[in-house]
Chains A and B, each alone.
Chain A
Amino acid sequence: MGRGERRTALGPDPEKGALTVVREGPCDAAREGPCDAAQEGPCDAARDQARAGLYVHVPFCAARCSYCDFSTGTLSVAKLGRYLDALEREIARRAPPAAGLRFTSVFFGGGTPSAIGAAAFERIARVLAAAFDIAPGAEFTLEANPESVRPALLEAWSAAGVNRLSLGAQSFVPEELATLARIHAAGRPAAALALARAHGFRRLSLDLMFGFPGQTAASWDRTLEAALALAPEHFSAYCLIPEAGTPLGDAVLAGATALPAPEAQAEAYEVLTARLEAAGYGCYETSNFCRPGAEARHNLVYWLRRPYLGLGPSAHGFDGATRYGNHRALQRWAAALEAGAPPEAEVERASEESAAAEAMMLGLRLATGLRPADHPPALRAALERRYGAALAAAVAGGRLVTDGASFRIPRPLRFVADDVIAWIAAAAARARVDSRRACSVPSMPCPSPPSPAA
């Protein structure tokens, strides 16, 4: 794409410190400038473009996958109508307080957003555009099942501003798709991707899954081979979490079927990382890989602890100070809104403690690590006070590396990242206690035991 075609997009303006127009598109910015392939992790441009996210949860699927515990159900005309009406009510509720936010990304997740037809989608997009300040050129992602990607839908999406598609491929091995209860055929993602490209979509992502029962090193290899051949801009690769209440999760928890051994899962992750990197995809976050500059802005909003608005059942939001989670069930969420009541099931106001814990835990998932400078001064100070010593101890013990400006989990430890993070949290908690009781202990009066009678 040439510079002449530049439309609008977001970027930092060093002068004003505010968002300003840069250029269109997936990642040309990155390819041409600030991001270079050698650099790990989300490039600075991507980080700066991830300012605030808007998430819409579409709670419908054609069929439920065996591992999925997200809020979803099968589609009916009545349910869809109720959902759309309630969503409009929620948008009306949430728009006024979000008036000051300019959204740099929109994400339709689910469920299967592609399961609702063009008309329903257009209606939502229209209402969103009218209610919120969506930055021109914002990243606009829609999760799609390869099975449901069709020309008419693609045209509708494109017309409404969708510029990024995330396709749930999971596996390219037919038997594995059956295990996961995916409804698409193994060859379907290739066709969907080609179709999307033909309709002008430049930012495509594939979801892959590993570490599920029955997967072998050879089958994972087959999946990676097939996925790489499609050359999407972005990959998300998730290791299966067996959730209670899902068919596959329950089977694993009951011992009816077994996950691959942790060693095999770790091996699968290493193979994943190595193969994707060899093909030019950097791992910028534990589970996310992309060509330089193609980071998902929307996900970065989460990891950088920036604000986002969640709409729809089970959606979560965060305004910088308060987090909320909507009712999970469509029925409850809709009923609350219909009654003029708040749709939240939980609301949590951040404390200094929770904010610092989040910043630490989220930052360390990024390949660029935890950068205190990413956060406002008060949080930066809290991070230093609460975690400074623990981070230093983690560096000393080989759990982290640092260049002074950031703390990163070294690559060989990425697959045990939670252990590193929990270790830091525990070390910080211990340090707090120790500093409180520093010199108060040894001289307490105590009864001495009576001398034992001979």
Chain B
Amino acid sequence: MSDPRLAHIRNFCIVAHIDHGKSTLADRLLELTHTLSPQQMKAQVLDDMDLEREKGITIKSHAIAMEYVAGDGRTFELNLIDTPGHVDFTYEVSRSLAACEGAVLVVDASQGIEAQTLSNYMLAREQGLAVVGAINKVDLPAARPDDAALEIEHVTGIPAEKVLRMSAKTGSGVPELLEQIVRDIPPPAGDPDAPLRALIFDSKFDQYRGVVALVRVVDGAVRSGDGIRFLSTGKRYEVTEVGRLRLGLEPVETLRAGQVGYVVAGVKTVADARVGDTVGAAQAEGLRPLPGFREVKSMVFSGLYPMVPEQYETLKEALGKLVLNDAALVWEPETSVALGFGFRCGFLGLLHMEIVQERLRREYQLDLIATTPSVEYHVLLESGGLVTVDNPSQMPPAGDIAAIEEPYVLAHVLTPAEYLGNIMKLCQDRRGVFVSLDYLEEKRARVAYRLPLAEIVLDYYDRLKSVSRGYASLDYEFDGYREGDVVKLDILLNGDKVDALSTIIHRDNAYEWGRSLCAKLKELIPRQMFQVAVQAALGGKVVARETIGAIRKNVTAKCYGGDITRKRKLLEKQKEGKRRMKQIGTVEVPQEAFLAVLKVER
């Protein structure tokens, strides 16, 4: 039962699919509660990273405190905790949910529930959250609010007639939603008089304060000067600042049980204030950690190399800075024969990888080559040992290998029933094993397959979207290791092996893959001074070959009337073009060629 001192607090999140209007709704709530002045309102306030705005997804969690005077005259403290919106960040989502007592399930009136929404809803239910259902975008011509409400009823058990109809864009229905939030979502439980226990649901690095941990205080209170410790590491710190989350950080004297806010305590890296960890009172004995903490594990690995060697130091510094803020990113130096000095990086998934690369490019102006993403294989040796391999070039010689195990995932795809056939074929083509099929309503199905992770890291998601005209959505979770007949496929350019283009692949796909990859490389590698042979090889055996003919013309035939400066600038451009290529043996390979693997059609 909730302590009466906490009765005015409501902590909730919004569960919604990308584009279903979560950010717009958040904007309306901020407006209606006068949390921001009109000048402070910029569209989609919560997505404050450019990248997030562009991709229309939330990568980091955010939170904001609002004051709301309800219809009955009571004043409530509402804490809206925004959640990351992608399958790569399921764990972060679960921690954000754990900081809440309720969730607003928002569904687009024309799209219905998507896999991601469903998966987050399931997470919310597991956490025991109260759920308020709302149909958004009812003002649009294609809206089918009744169908969407039935779907919500089917999935959540909330009666369709109780599901709110609203338009976050126009604001209609949003005041009713606020009333329903304070009515249906319970106030926080927790003991204000017990020693401090707070859940970290996100942490970020601030260059002036160090790590800013976003927390939900469960028991007790925290104030500046308190001693705290992180229960997973045992590390102790002294709190230098606590505060609430408004548009920025707003210091307060004390954060009490039930409240959401931030804690600053001289922590140097987010790896020491991990999402899911518990902040406890330093002196309290026998404090039990809040449930649900786990180490995040990299699922996808790729080598990152600077395009030009002089950017190596910049890349190193940039990665060092990113990990301050991204505990899920792991990295260590590696070298490649083809690419020189770089870093092996581990990511939560493909999107996470893409985001990290994009941030390195934008925020640090780095020109990068990323090697083919790989999953982590368990290689059992004839000698009885086991090595983990996340980089094809480290694969032991075939003769030493007794067996290779590869990681699997359990994937759930939610789709309009008409695309089911396409999707099942896609899953089968990717070595998927059928697990289950059920229908959310007559025309919407959920199908589950067990798939090798390696089969979905490259282009599965794009293919899924394309065979379902964009309607299918995907969610997956790690599902253990299983033995597989996988082999290493090498690419040779004029006989020189290009380690950065090697892939680990299932034997059945190796020939076709080798052929497609050679063809793609032929497209991507420009003609050179001399003919280039592109070969794919399994072990020592060449399984595919393409030939890139020699360049025939590249000459400036006129002298531009003594305008040597112009000629020199043209040369400068051509030189830079060549510098943006990697010299591998005798062949110049452009950056895009290293992405060829991602572009192979199959």
CB-CB nearest in chain A for B345: A449
- Taking the closest CB of chain A, its distance from the CB of B379, in whole angstroms, is 15
Residues of chain A contacted by B295 (CB below 8 angstroms): 450, 452-453
- Bound together, the chains give a CA A108 to CA B555 distance in angstroms of 25
Q: Flag if B571 contacts A421 (CB, 8 Å).
A: yes
Interface status of A120 (Cβ within 8 A of chain B): no
Cβ–Cβ contact A263 & B555, under 8 A: no
Assess whether A118 is interfacial by the CB under 8 Å rule. no
Contacts of A449 in B (CB 8 A): 298, 330-332, 346
Asked if residues B332 and A447 are in contact (CB atoms below 8 Å), the reply is yes
Q: Is the CB of A241 within 8 A of B558?
A: yes
Q: Is A416 in contact with B331, judged by CB distance below 8 angstroms?
A: no
The answer to whether A437 touches B312 (Cβ under 8 A) is: yes
Q: Which of B196-204, B235-243, B574-582 interfaces with chain A?
A: B574-582
In chain B, what residue has the closest Cβ to A324?
Answer: B565
Given A419-B554, A442-B341, A450-B330, residue A317 in contact with residue B562 (CB < 8 A): yes
- Distance (whole angstroms) from the CB of B306 to the closest CB of chain A: 10
- B residues in contact with A448, CB < 8 Å: 332
Contact A422 B309 (CB under 8 A): no
B583 at the interface (CB under 8 A from A): yes
Whether the Cβ atoms of B553 and A446 lie closer than 8 Å is no
A358, A437, A453: the one within 8 Å of B564 (CB)? A358
Cβ-defined contact, B578 with A426, below 8 A: yes
Give complex CA distance A286, B554 in Å.
12
* A32 interface residue per 8 A CB criterion: no
The answer to whether the Cβ of B39 comes within 8 Å of any Cβ in the partner chain is no
The answer for the CA separation of A305 and B583 in the assembled complex, in Å, is: 31
Inter-subunit contact B331/A310 (CB<8 Å): no
Contact of B312 among A416, A426, A441 (CB under 8 A): A441
Kindly report which residue of chain A lies nearest to residue B323, judged by CB atoms. A447
A333 to chain B, nearest CB (A): 14
A55 and B529: CB pair below 8 A? no
Q: Are A262 and B553 in contact, with the CB atoms below 8 A? A: yes
Instruction: Knowing A262-B553, A416-B552, A433-B310 are in contact, say whether A55-B571 is a contact too (CB < 8 A).
Output: no
Residue interface bits B328-350, CB-to-A below 8 A is 1, else 0: 00111101000001010010000
Please report the total number of B residues contacting A with Cβ < 8 Å: 51
**B294 interface residue, CB < 8 Å from A?**
yes
A268 closest partner in B (C-beta): B553
Task: Answer yes or no: B297 CB below 8 A from chain A CBs.
Answer: yes
Q: A287-B558, A317-B562, A416-B554 in contact; A452/B577 too (CB < 8 A)?
A: no
Where the two chains meet, the residues of A that have a C-beta atom closer than 8 Å to any C-beta of B are: 53, 55, 57, 70, 109, 237-239, 241, 262-263, 265-266, 286-287, 299, 302, 305, 308, 310, 314-318, 323, 325, 346, 348, 354, 357-358, 361-362, 397-399, 413-423, 425-427, 429-430, 433-434, 436-437, 441-442, 444, 446-450, 452-453
Chain B contacts to A: CB under 8 angstroms: 271, 294-295, 297-298, 308-310, 312, 316, 320, 323, 330-333, 335, 341, 343, 346, 376, 529-530, 551-559, 561-565, 567-568, 570-572, 574-579, 583, 586, 588
What are 30 of the A-B contact pairs (CB < 8 Å)?
A53-B562, A55-B562, A239-B553, A262-B553, A299-B559, A302-B562, A310-B562, A316-B562, A316-B563, A415-B552, A415-B553, A415-B554, A416-B554, A417-B554, A419-B551, A421-B571, A423-B529, A425-B572, A425-B574, A426-B575, A426-B579, A430-B583, A436-B310, A442-B333, A442-B341, A444-B316, A446-B331, A448-B332, A449-B332, A452-B295
- What 8 A-B pairs are tightest by C-beta distance, nearest first? A449-B330, A422-B574, A426-B578, A425-B575, A262-B553, A239-B557, A266-B552, A419-B554
